[in-house]
A and B are shown apart, each in its own frame.
Chain A
Amino acid sequence: MELRVNGKPYSVNYDPSEMLVWVLRDDFGLTGTKMGCGAGICGACTIHINGVPVRSCITPVSAAMGLEITTIEGLATILPDGSEKLHALQQAFIDEQVPQCAWCISGQIMTAAAFLKENPHPKPEDIDTALENNYCRCGCYVRIRAAVELAAKELETSA
C-alpha cells in the first residue's frame, strides 16, 4: 500500500483503519500536523485530501489511498534555488504575529487555505464561519481574522 503526501510516496503496512494523524506523525515523522482532541472537534489536525480540508484524527488511512494528501509541511513552495517561499497564509500569520503556542496553527492555516481557494473574496463573517470549528486556546482569534483577510488580499494581488 502507498500513500502520497506532499507529492512524495510513503509505503504503508499498517492496519488501514489507523487514523491518518498518527501515521503522518509517528510513522512518517510529519509532526507539523497536530492532534488536539482525536474526535474531529478542535481542528488542530486538519490536512487536505485532494485539496479538501479533512480532520486527520478521524480519517482512516484507507480513505486516503490513491489520493493527494497535503500537510502543513507541503504548503510552502521550494524555489529552484532551494529557498522556501511561504504560502500567503503562512506569511500573513507571521506578519500579523498570530501564533502564541501555535499548536492549533497548522490546522487554522490548512482550513483557511482550502477556504480561500474556494472563496477568494471573503467577507469578514465568512471567515468566522469558515474557521468556526478550529479552536485556539491561547485566544489568537482576533489576529487569525486579520491574517486571513491579509492573505486573501495578498493572493488577490499576486494572482
Chain B
Amino acid sequence: MSSSTSHTEGEEPENGKKPQAKSTRRTFLISAGVGALTIGIGGKIGWEYLRRNVPALAENRAPSAKVPKEPFAWFTINADKTIIFHVPKIEMGQGIHTSLAQIAADELEADWNTFRVVQADTAHGFDSGTQFTFGSVSVASLYQPIREASATVRETLREEAARRLNTTKENIIAKNGAMELRADASKRLTYGELVAGKQGKWTLAKNAPLKSANNFTLIGKSVPRVDLRDKVTGRAVYGLDARLPNMLYGAVARPPRYGAKLKSAKAGEAATMSGVVKVVIENGFAGVVAERRSIARAAAARIQCEWEGGVTESQDVFDALTTVPTDKSNAIAIQEHGSASDNRTDKDVFAQYRTAIAVHAHLEPQAALADVRGDGKTIQSITITASTQTPDMVRTMVADALGVEKDSIVVKPTYAGGGFGRRLAHEVGVEAALLSRAVGRPVHVGWTREEEMRYGFYRPPTHHVLRGSVGANGRILAMEHEVSSGDVLLSFAGIAGGAIAGSVADAFGVDPGALIGALSEYDIPHHRVLSHRVKLPFLTASWRGLGLLPNIFARESFIDELAHLATKDPIQFRLDHLPDTELGKRYKQALKRVQEMSSWQTPPPTGRARGVAFCTQSHTVIAQVAEVSILNGRLKVHRVWAAVDPGMTVNPNGAVAQIQGAIVMGLSSVFHEKITFANGIASAKNFDNYPLLRLPDVPDIVVELITSSDVPHGMGEVGIGPIAAAVGNAVFSLTGKRMRELPFPLETLA
C-alpha cells in the first residue's frame, strides 16, 4: 500500500491538511516558472467546450485534452523525495486521482511510496476543459498527454543527471524516483536532489520516448486508491466540509414553483432574528447570512417573498409534451438507411417505452464556501472552495452574477460526494458568493435534500416509439426507433451563456447528449433513428450516461421483443445481427464472454430466468446478463454478469468498481426512481418519497475485463446502459410480461 494521499491544494480550509510541499522548498514547479504559463480558453467553458466537442461526444470518442505545454506544471518535485502530482480532474468517487497518478508515476519512474496527489485549483494553469470532469473521458483523454509530459520530465532529469555524473544519458537508469549510473548504482541522485541542486535554467528534453507496455509497473495494476485512508477516517474534505476562520452560514429563499422569479421581498422578521447577520435582497435574489446554519435556514424561510411566473403544470402535461408526436416535421433522422417505414412483414411489432424524470441524488448536497474580499467598494479577489465537476463553470457563473472578471476568481475544488452530472452547474457557488460579498466575510452555503430534489436540474423524461419487422429468414428486415427527450447537453447553453447561446442551441436541433446510445450498431437493411427534441419548462440536463440508460433500455428491450418474435435465442439473435467491423467484433466477443460467464446455455435454477443486453459508450463495450426471480410478487435480481471491453485498463479493480456501481445505479432506476411534478414543483422532498436502491436488493455482480488494445477508453458510465434491459428481458422470459417503463411497473408482477 502506498503512503500517497490526496489533498485539496493551496491555502487551507481550516480542517484541510496542507500538502506536504512547503513553498519555502525549492521546487521544480517554481524553478520551471509555471507562473509564466499562459493557458488558453476563456469564455463559457461549459458551452464553448461542449460546442467544440459535441461532434466527438456524439461519435462516441473522447474529446482531445488541452494540456499545459509546460510538462513541469504537472509536478512539484521536492528535495525530500516527495513528488506532488497536480491532478486537474475532480475526484468524485471514480478513482481518477489514483488512475491518473498511476499513469504519471509509472512514466516518470517515480517512487510510488513518496508520490502525492494534490487537486489542482483553477489558478494552477490547467485548461478549463482539462479540469472539466465528465463523460467518462478523464483517462481516455489524458492517458497520452500525461505520459508525454511525464516522459519529458523524466528525460530532462536524465540529461541533468548525466551532466552531474559526467556521463551520457545512455548510461543513466531512471528507477524509483532517482537517476543512477548503470555501471555503479551507488552513484545515484534522487529527482529531488537533481531539482534542488539545479544551476541555471532547465532545457526540456526533446522527443522523450514513452515506456514500453512490458515495462509498466503501475499502469494496468490494481493499485489501491490513494484517497481511501482519509475517507475511512473522516479526514477527507468535501465542499460541505470546507471551513475558514471567521466564516458565516448562508441560506436562500426558495419559490413555491420551479423557476418562479422573485418579484419583491421584504426582510420582515428574518432581519430581527437572533443570530442573523444580514438579510440580502438584490436583483431577484433573497438570502440570509447568519452565525449558524440552522438560523440562516429558518430566517430565509421567513423572508416575505412575492414570486411571479415559473412552472405551474403537473406531470400529465410533461408526459404529453414528451410523447413522440405523430407530426414528424420537426424530427431529425440521426441514422437512416433503406426505408424503414416501407418494409413491413407479417411479423411486425410496435412498442413504446418511457423513462421517468430522475434526480442525481448525489449524497453530498451541493455546497460552496465563498470568500469575497474587497475594500467595500470594489472586489479584489474571490475564492470559492466547492465540490464541483466544472471548476471553470463556477468561475463563469460567479463572474456573471457578481459582474466581475473571471480572472479575479479562484476555485479550489474539493472531493465531491458524488457528481453524476449534477455538479456540472453550480448555483450554490453563486449563492455563497453573493452572500459573502454582502457581509465581507466567508460564507458557506450547503443545500438541503429538499433543495436538491426541487430546485436543481433533472434527468429528462423520455418516450420511445419502436417498430420492427422480422423477415422470413428470421432476421430483422426493418426497424425504426423514435426518441423523444428533454435536453441533456444543450441546456448548458442556457446555464452558462444565457439567451444568445440558448438560440445557438436551438439551431442545433438535436441534443447529442440525449442521443447517446440511440445510434444502433445492428446490421439491419432498413433502419431509421429519429430524434424529437422536447422543450420542457424546467431544466433537464446531464445525468450519469446521459441518454444511455433510456435509449439502451428501449432499444435492447425491443431487440429482445424481435428475438422472441423470431423465436431465436436472444444472444444468438444479437450475434446474428452484428457486423464484422472492428467494433462489431468487440461486441460479439463481449456477448460471447458474458454467455460463458453466466452459463447461458445451462438453464437457470427453477423459478429464475435470465436476460441479456449490451451497449457501447465512450468506445467501451459491455454486455450484461441478469438473473431474476419473483418471490411473493417481488422482483429479485440475484446476479448480474458483465463482460467489459474498455480497450485496456489503467486500474482493473477501480474499473470493476465503476461497473458494479453503474449497475447498482441503473437498478435503482429500475426499482424506484421517479420524480413527478404537481402544480409546478417536484412532489418529492426527500428520500422518503424518492427512495434509492438499498443493500438487500443488490445482486451479486460478476465483472470481467477484456483487453483488446493498448488504449484505455471510458469506464464511468457504460455499465449503466444495459442493466435495465437485461433485467426487463429476464422478467419477460420468466413471466411473459414486458417491462416498458423505468421504473418498472413492479405492481404488475405481484
Contacts and interface: CB of A to CB of B under 8 A. Distances in A.
A94 interface: yes
Interface string B220-242: 00101101110111111110110
Given A38-B686, A103-B364, A109-B232, A94 B95 contact: no
A37 B657 contact: no
A138 B228 contact: no
A99 B97 CA distance: 14
Contact of A94 (B232, B292, B418): B232
B417 A37 contact: no
B418 A131 contact: no
A73 B238 CA distance: 16
A103 B417 contact: yes
Contact of A101 (B249, B415, B663): B415
A31 B237 contact: yes
B695 A144 contact: yes
A143 B659 CA distance: 12
A132 B695 contact: yes
Contacts of A99: 93, 225, 228, 231-232
Interface in B654-684: 654, 657, 660-665, 668
B241 A31 contact: yes
Nearest to B653: A97
Interface stretch (B102-110, B311-319, B696-704): B696-704
Contact of A84 (B93, B233, B243): B233
Given A29-B14, A101-B416, A139 B294 contact: no
Contacts of A145: 695, 698
Contacts of B156: none
Contacts of A139: 660-665, 668, 693, 698
B94 interface: yes
Contacts of A86: 229, 232-233
Contacts of A125: 696
A39 B687 contact: yes
A72 B1 CA distance: 22
Nearest to B361: A137
A150 interface: no
Interface stretch (A18-26, A48-56, A114-122): A18-26
Interface residues of A, number: 61
A41 B695 contact: no
B235 A100 contact: no
A19 B224 CA distance: 36
Nearest to B222: A97
Contacts of A62: none
A142 B235 contact: no
B293 A26 contact: yes
B696 A128 contact: yes
Contacts of A84: 233
Contacts of B694: 132-133, 135
B417 A94 contact: no
B301 interface: no
Contact of B657 (A73, A90, A143): A143
A73 B93 CA distance: 21
B229 A94 contact: yes
Interface in B328-365: 361-365
Nearest to A18: B294
B269 interface: no
Nearest to A101: B93
A64 interface: no
Given A29-B15, A141-B695, A93 B364 contact: no
Given A29-B14, A73-B234, A22 B700 contact: no
A41 B684 CA distance: 14
B240 A35 contact: yes
B92 interface: yes
A128 B699 CA distance: 11
A36 B14 CA distance: 22
B686 A142 contact: no
B93 A102 contact: yes
B692 interface: yes
Contact of A137 (B232, B363, B696): B363
B663 A41 contact: no
Contact of A18 (B229, B292, B688): B292
Nearest to A25: B241
Nearest to A37: B449
A125 B175 CA distance: 48
B149 to A, nearest CB: 27
B64 interface: no
A74 to B, nearest CB: 9
B448 interface: yes
Among B1, B14, B361, chain A packs the most CB atoms within 10 A around the CB of B361
A37 B687 contact: yes
A31 B661 contact: no
Given A26-B249, A39-B686, A97-B653, A102 B233 contact: no
A107 to B, nearest CB: 9
A97 B363 contact: no
A100 B93 contact: yes
6 contacts: A22-B292, A86-B232, A99-B231, A99-B232, A137-B362, A137-B692
Interface of B: 1, 14-15, 92-95, 222, 224-225, 227-229, 231-238, 240-241, 243, 249, 292-294, 361-365, 415-420, 446, 448-449, 653-654, 657, 660-665, 668, 686-688, 692-696, 698, 700-701
Given A35-B446, A97-B657, A101-B92, 9 more contacts: A25-B240, A41-B688, A94-B1, A101-B364, A101-B416, A102-B231, A132-B696, A139-B664, A140-B660
